[in-house]
Structures are given as structure tokens and as C-alpha cells.
Amino acid sequence: MFEKNLHEFFEYLSAEKNYSDLTVKSYREDLMQFSGFLSEQKIDLLNRVDHIVIRSFLSALMEKEYAKKSILRKLAAIKSFFRFLYNRGIIENNPGDYVASPKSEKILPEFLFEQELVDMIESLNGDSFSAIRDRALIEVLYSTGARVSELVSMNAPDIDFTSGLVKVKGKGNKERIVALGAKSINALNKYLIERTQILKKYKKMNEALFLNQHGNRLTDRGVRYIFDNLVKGTSLKKKISPHVIRHSFATHMLEHGCDLRVVQEFLGHVSLSTTQIYTHIGDQKLKQVYKECHPHS
């Protein structure tokens, strides 16, 4: 029965809630961990789980020193599952209603200062396919604020060079249109010549925008590998990742006076509160500049 309910729940997340495969996978792992905890405690999932049992599971995670963010995600999966069971009439009471979510820690995302990012991009000045592609890739990331999953799903026909716009497919297959800056368009024009040569070399037809050396669509892992190698070639002490570029995009846009709701639209955030974290980054930068420049700091 439990496996059947789980299967129906995951079908619901995919078909009705339109959750990504990655999110559904995370929910599955979290709920299987919760199921394992119940088995250890000899507790029946449908008939004996109450808010005390759920809190005991959370306490066990805390004792194992799980990050608060991970605990919050697992609790969200559990509450969503029991809400699903309750709404379908499978259980009479929803134990998740009696478990409050602990406040999440507000961790400010890493970002690069403008000159740091410029220096990093300028370091990609080779004439090889990979160097030209990597520069175009990072220019597009910085120009659009796209997620890495959105970047690798871009297709060459998604770009309108006349208007300087690109179609981005975000979470839940929601599409949005974002602008491309002049530097990213220049880098793309140079890359597309190399892209055509790679496709001819391997006699392939592939609409993917960013390709690997064999003419196949570049994957999330491939992009992260590019960034790992990029770190080795710079003097930056900060962590560099596709998400750091996304955070830098949002931070720089706000610093130059862009409206918060416009940044929200660019990033594809559903809630404005998600975008507001970048206003705190601005405060952090002000403090850092003050410390560096004020004689009495």
C-alpha cells in the first residue's frame, strides 16, 4: 500500500504540480529516508504517524548534524506527502499540520565583484573550440542570469540576434524571454562559427546551443567541469560556479538601479521574497567598502 501511495504521489508531483525530475528525485530520497526511520522504530506509516513521530525524525537528523537546509527540505517533502494523502481521503488527520517548520538560516549567496568577473572572462582568450565556447557560455550566463539547467537546455534557434533576446525554459517548463548584452552576442557569433565546424566534423544535426567537443549537447556536469577547470586558471580565492554567476548578475543589476521586480522577472523567480536576498548582498558590499575605505572603520 505504501509503495502504491508513494507512486501516486510522485505522479501527482510530476503531472499536476509540474515539478522537475530533480525535485521529484529529491522528494523520493527524503521520503524513503523517512520510511527507513519508521521501519527502525516499527511504526506503521499510515496509521501510527503523528506530529510527535515527525518531530522525532527531525531530531534524529539534527543529532546527525544535517544542515538546516536539508532538514527543511525533508520536512517539506513529508508535509507535502501527508497533505496529498489527506486530500485524497487516504488518512483522516494530517500530522504535518501540527509540525511547524523551523526558520531557515539566511545564507547570503556568493557573488563576484564586477572587476573580478571581467578579469575572469578576459582570462578566456584562447582560439580553441573549448576556449571560444566557454567564453560564450559564461557571457550568456552573466548576461541572462540563467540557471545551469536552463543554459544547457537552450537551443540555437532560441536566440533572436536581431532583437538581442533569448528564450529560456525555466522550472516547470515555464518559458521567459531575457535580453542578451552586446558582449554575449559578440561571443556567441564567434562561437557559432566553431559550433558549425564541430557539427560538420562529426556529421551531426543538433539544435543544442552549447555542444561538447564531440558535437553533443553539453550537460550540467559538463558545465560544472568547465568551471572546475576555470578556477584553476584564475587567482580568485572565491568559489566559482554557474550559480555564482547568476548571483553576480542579480547583484550587479540591482547595484546599477534595476527595479527588484524586473530582476525577479529575469531570474524567473515565482516569489519576490526569493529575489529580495540580493538586496542584502548590496548591504554586505556597502559594509565591505566602508571597512576598506573609512579610516575609523
How far apart CA 143 and CA 235 sit, in angstroms, is: 23
- Provide the pLDDT for residue 194: 96
Provide DSSP, 87-109: HTTSSSS-GGGG-PPPPPP-PPP
Q: For the CA atoms of 6, 12, 15, 21, what is the dihedral angle to 10 degrees?
A: -50
The answer to whether 110 and 239 are in contact (CB under 8 A) is: yes
DSSP H/E element including 157: none
Residue 82 bridge partners (DSSP): none
Local confidence band at 294 (pLDDT 50, 70, 90 cut-offs): very low
- 114-293 architecture in CATH? Orthogonal Bundle (1.10)
- Provide the pLDDT for residue 208: 96
How far apart CA 287 and CA 132 sit, in angstroms, is: 37
157-201 per-position pLDDT tens digit: 999 999 999 999 887 778 899 999 999 999 999 999 999 999 999
pTM here is 0.62
Q: For the CA atoms of 266, 272, 278, 282, what is the dihedral angle to 10 degrees?
A: 110
The answer to whether 68 and 102 are in contact (CB under 8 A) is: yes
Residues forming the active site: 147, 171, 243, 246, 269, 278
Q: Which residues neighbour 14 within 8 Å (Cβ) at sequence distance 6 or greater?
A: 21, 24
- 200 burial type by CB count under 10 A (0-12 exposed, 13-18 middle, 19+ buried): exposed
The answer to whether 91 and 46 are in contact (CB under 8 A) is: yes
DSSP H/E element including 192: helix 182-201
Question: pLDDT over 90 for what percent of the chain?
Answer: 39
DSSP state letter for 42: T
Amino acid sitting at position 25: K
Domain residue ranges of the chain, discontinuous segments joined by +: 2-98, 114-293
Q: Hey, how many other C-beta atoms are within 10 angstroms of the C-beta on 116?
A: 16
Q: In what order do the strands lie in the sheet with 175-179?
A: 159-160, 165-169, 175-179
How far apart CA 215 and CA 201 sit, in angstroms, is: 8
How far apart CA 106 and CA 123 sit, in angstroms, is: 33
| Three cell numbers, residue 215 | 558535437
Q: Which of 121-130, 261-270, 284-293 has the lowest mean pLDDT?
A: 284-293
DSSP state letter for 128: S
- 126 burial type by CB count under 10 A (0-12 exposed, 13-18 middle, 19+ buried): exposed
- Provide the pLDDT for residue 116: 87
- 232 burial type by CB count under 10 A (0-12 exposed, 13-18 middle, 19+ buried): exposed
Q: Hey, how many other C-beta atoms are within 10 angstroms of the C-beta on 209?
A: 25
- 2-98 architecture in CATH? Orthogonal Bundle (1.10)
62-95 per-position pLDDT tens digit: 888 888 888 889 999 999 999 998 998 888 888 8
| Cα angle for residues 220, 15, 265 (degrees, 5° grid) | 55
